[in-house]
Structure 1
């Protein structure tokens, strides 16, 4: 239980600098931690606060009286040259955000804005709409980069002498060369680019990182259209990976940091939704340029236009960047508190809401303030040595790995080839590919509702078995006689239904989940790790699919990925906690439960449900695994001599 505090005397937030007075509260000590104590204490605290108990989920400011909290807000405003009266009222609002109607110091105009925020969550400011548009178009860049190679595959391999199922004069397997070219961007993204995202974000900020990565994407797409050899095309596509890798680590984090928690999941999900839109338009470009003649250009003009067309959405993003605000969390991390508040004023309906979120964000981030300035390599180590971080990394790894090994991108990159092998003509195959992209896009729409209603984990548990089933269905279609309507019908229906199920689960969840899984001080590195995982296994899939088909056969290749979907179901069941409905910082408690405890609990839960639902036995359900216990999270361990357990209830 926490020790008693003087109700009239404010207590101490953790200082941004242990040797500098915070200005909000009185300090009784200015000593700093040594690194070993800092790491061990953080892991210990995270472990203890996550133990299941009977406490209810609580706002950490509820540990203080309203008078204390208003003084905290007033002092914060004075320290950072903000409006003291506004922040005093906003601090009280942050303490009990649902009780605004009972607060006499909140004006009627402010109450109307807060009521609208609660009851009409999609009534959002124009600047937040611009942020959504930016993130959406950046995702479309990603989608087109991925899908235009599908149409080009019908032409460039013959011109460059790859993908013929034989060895060239240098002894290289041409199937592997084809896979290497297709997977080149993801090799670069996973091995180099994603690990640069932290450096770029720290120095450039979120939105300007997006600007430069889209510029790289535009230039390299243009470059691909001028290549004449397979190794020249490989180099151009490898350089494209710098745009893909860093951007994919940045955009979801930017969206998560700009949006209120009520719609955070849906807006972060826009990344995958508009990636699906980009994939669809990539197929449209392939169809549009299919009949373009050579016009005297060696190797043909059509596939060059297909690859180059992906630069169009990237150029649109370049013109959007100057008109959107920077991430308020990034600005606060740079100690630019007034700029952070100004940014939130553009992203919230009223100044009182912006001040509330600014202050509460600051209070929550004090836990992490002592970790600012930690070298990158130490933060990378702490991502795996501190349980809370390690569990977040494991969850992000699972969803990113399974996004690739569910088999979706084998279809995205090679579906024209798959459809041709299933009895389609080239034009019909490209049309069927466009249909695949349309299904992928349309069935992502319901997840705007389901991702924050049913949750990330439940969507995955429901969809993995179904994806396995329809991959088996598709694979069995190749057993039918080649070129028959039976074969084309089975293959097309299997691919389309698989795409629809993917779009409802493993499609939108990974980037949303990964953006939530890491605390702020390692979020850039964590997103780099997550996207590196995604792109590395994307590269492995693109590289190995041609060889997998030639070795296992078409049916065996689909069965291989069906088996991985079954494995994915159990990985999610045992090791993936739910993140729905929690603030980014409050997720610390969820990710601090040990994986062993989580796996045992979920196994017992399955057995318990089986007995109650199937065997109809009257047994009590298991107690909840997670309890968001009230805790004094904003205390500085140096301001008095209390033990760690004194801050835990």
Structure 2
């Protein structure tokens, strides 16, 4: 059910020649780079409805480019690196014709060739950083899953059970359901209200590594505190502190992965967050299974076990290179180059990426001036600009839709409460925990193929292909609760459709939500934009976590599953109308993608893309690509 992207292009820095004059000579629409781009490029782009990837260096003469590189090297105090910077800039000008660039050594040509033929042959420094980012994500999944298992016993330990003779006699089953929901939603409330907004100043002051280090401290101590809590208020406080660590990682790690990754594999590297979030869930579910028979303290160990992956993260994060874009934002170009040397396979790649990022940031500065915004260091100003600047507002809108869609999909019904749901379906505690483990295994197994698909097929294709399938599988799982509990098919069919739903989720929304949100914001608003996206996600996660125990009691499993199944269709419609494709575009080139008005984009989808899809996919007409 793939839907083609409006104006999709096929190369990373394609030599797009917009509106050449009749003389055949390309009109120079980029002036001296230290002065920014002229108004011409922006006006020409706004004239073109189709999203084009523009490499501004294409329109600069070789002589002018060399002069610009000299000026850049002088301003950045990198004159000693002028030869390699010049070669890197010439490669960035014509990336598809790098073999024609004069002065490249055979080793440099081979490095650039390997980048094309073997996309995943990356540097050790990059892989080490990605591994640490994966550990960060695993902590997240383990934190969530520990509560899933502990939900079966901690309410009884604290006298707040929401089912059974005791609460029925006291008449407080309903209020206890809300109380359990409150304890479970505490981490997500802390993320939405505290952590994501603290992440912006922390990232600005201490960089990506420093912020992740602070997050790891909370992720180490909060699970231990949860394990020794003596009453439910103490547990709630520890869960709030856990949420601070979760939120700092959730904002920072996907953006960190995005900023260090080459364009050709950026989606794949960024979505390792989701894969290892699932793997953390697998480890946490396994811990729940191992510990549930220990006795009255099993829930304490289930909560506390989540501290384990925080240890290697604390020890290893300072050995990673910092984000080069963060250094460049601070004007520390030499440090950025040193980071790129560790993140790329050779100096030629590091020099090319350094200069190209610099050029695109200059282009971004022009968009800032053209839109009359200011590059404020004040977080409140940047937050306001999420809604007042058209380019940033469109990115905010798209990221918000995907983050809300993640909660609308209903995946966290299972992520937070799968053990509870299957216990109500008639399963034993062991079987419920086993199905929860299977749920996380399926999520991890089906997220892994998206490493390849997300950059090949694109984000929109994956999303629009999977949401309809999530609708019918979740609905089918809900109807299976009508099968008598005494039937062997009861639990088996519920688990089958839940696993099928999870597989579709993992191939689409699961792999795309954080990867997409991490890449759509300009560098000037990266931290506050991702903060907003994560806050949006966790606000609705809070709502789900708070309301689902009561919803399950009032509506029953079939009603609750059917409600979230319907939300999948609504989410798909919003994604179709308002979320542009981002695959194979550099972070800076996305400025052009989001320069198109939302109304224009939605109109194009409805009037052009949808009729094309119906004719081609339903009526099987030959209407061209």
Same fold by TM-score, threshold 0.5 exceeded? Answer: yes
Distance in 1 (alpha carbons) for counterparts of 2:412 and 2:49: 43
Which position in structure 1 is the counterpart of 2:6? none
Return closer, same or farther for 1:548/1:119 CA change in 2, 3 Å cut-off: same
Q: CA deviation at 1:613?
A: 4.8
Which position in structure 1 is the counterpart of 2:431? 428
558, 561, 576: which one aligns with 2:561 = 558
Q: Is the 8 A contact 2:405 2:568 kept in 1?
A: yes
Return closer, same or farther for 1:460/1:74 CA change in 2, 3 Å cut-off: same
Distance in 2 (alpha carbons) for counterparts of 1:441 and 1:612: 33
Distance in 2 (alpha carbons) for counterparts of 1:532 and 1:307: 24
Q: Show the 5 A alignment for 1:438-449.
A: 438-449=441-452
Q: Is the 8 A contact 2:517 2:530 kept in 1?
A: yes
Q: Is the 8 A contact 2:52 2:593 kept in 1?
A: no
Q: Show the 5 A alignment for 1:17-416.
A: 49-52=45-48, 57-82=53-78, 83-164=81-162, 173-293=175-295, 300-369=296-365, 371-416=374-419
Which position in structure 1 is the counterpart of 2:612? 608
Distance in 2 (alpha carbons) for counterparts of 1:383 and 1:600: 23
Distance in 1 (alpha carbons) for counterparts of 2:514 and 2:577: 20
Q: Is the 8 A contact 1:14 1:366 kept in 2?
A: yes
SS at 1:81's partner residue? coil
Gaps of 5+ in 2: 1-18, 369-373
1:544 corresponds to 2:547: yes
Return closer, same or farther for 1:616/1:498 CA change in 2, 3 Å cut-off: closer
SS at 1:342's partner residue? helix
Q: Is the 8 A contact 2:27 2:59 kept in 1?
A: no
Q: Is the 8 A contact 1:225 1:305 kept in 2?
A: yes
Q: Is the 8 A contact 1:131 1:324 kept in 2?
A: yes
Gaps of 5+ in 1: 17-24, 26-40, 294-299, 622-649
Distance in 1 (alpha carbons) for counterparts of 2:27 and 2:192: 52
Q: What are the superposed Cα offsets for residues 54-112 of structure 1, whole Å, 9 maximum, x if unpaired?
A: 89643101111112112211222233232111112211111112211112211111111
Which position in structure 2 is the counterpart of 1:633? none
Distance in 2 (alpha carbons) for counterparts of 1:366 and 1:58: 14
TM superposition score normalised by structure 2: 0.90
Q: Which structure has more helix as a fraction of its residues?
A: 2
Which position in structure 1 is the counterpart of 2:32? 12
Q: Is the 8 A contact 1:73 1:90 kept in 2?
A: no
Distance in 2 (alpha carbons) for counterparts of 1:134 and 1:606: 42
Q: Is the 8 A contact 2:30 2:56 kept in 1?
A: no
Distance in 1 (alpha carbons) for counterparts of 2:565 and 2:464: 15
Distance in 1 (alpha carbons) for counterparts of 2:29 and 2:606: 48
Which position in structure 2 is the counterpart of 1:515? 518
Return closer, same or farther for 1:239/1:614 CA change in 2, 3 Å cut-off: closer
Distance in 2 (alpha carbons) for counterparts of 1:123 and 1:266: 13
Distance in 1 (alpha carbons) for counterparts of 2:200 and 2:240: 20
Return closer, same or farther for 1:88/1:9 CA change in 2, 3 Å cut-off: farther
Q: Show the 5 A alignment for 1:585-604.
A: 585-604=588-607
Return closer, same or farther for 1:159/1:7 CA change in 2, 3 Å cut-off: closer
SS at 2:456's partner residue? coil
Which position in structure 2 is the counterpart of 1:495? 498
Return closer, same or farther for 1:57/1:209 CA change in 2, 3 Å cut-off: closer
Q: CA deviation at 1:620?
A: 7.3
Q: Is the 8 A contact 1:280 1:438 kept in 2?
A: yes
SS at 1:461's partner residue? helix
SS at 2:587's partner residue? coil
Return closer, same or farther for 1:619/1:510 CA change in 2, 3 Å cut-off: closer
Q: What are the superposed Cα offsets for residues 107-166 of structure 1, whole Å, 9 maximum, x if unpaired?
A: 111111111111111111110011110110000011101111111011101111224156
Moved more, 559-568 or 165-174: 165-174
Which position in structure 1 is the counterpart of 2:16? none
Q: Is the 8 A contact 1:9 1:68 kept in 2?
A: no
Q: Is the 8 A contact 2:477 2:493 kept in 1?
A: yes
Q: Is the 8 A contact 1:47 1:593 kept in 2?
A: no
Q: Is the 8 A contact 1:50 1:590 kept in 2?
A: no
SS at 1:276's partner residue? helix
Alpha carbon RMSD of aligned pairs, Å?
Answer: 2.6
Return closer, same or farther for 1:8/1:498 CA change in 2, 3 Å cut-off: closer
Distance in 1 (alpha carbons) for counterparts of 2:536 and 2:111: 41
SS at 2:70's partner residue? helix
Distance in 1 (alpha carbons) for counterparts of 2:619 and 2:282: 46
Q: What are the superposed Cα offsets for residues 330-369 of structure 1, whole Å, 9 maximum, x if unpaired?
A: 0010110100001001111110110111011111112345
TM superposition score normalised by structure 1: 0.87
Q: Is the 8 A contact 1:138 1:317 kept in 2?
A: yes
Distance in 2 (alpha carbons) for counterparts of 1:275 and 1:183: 18
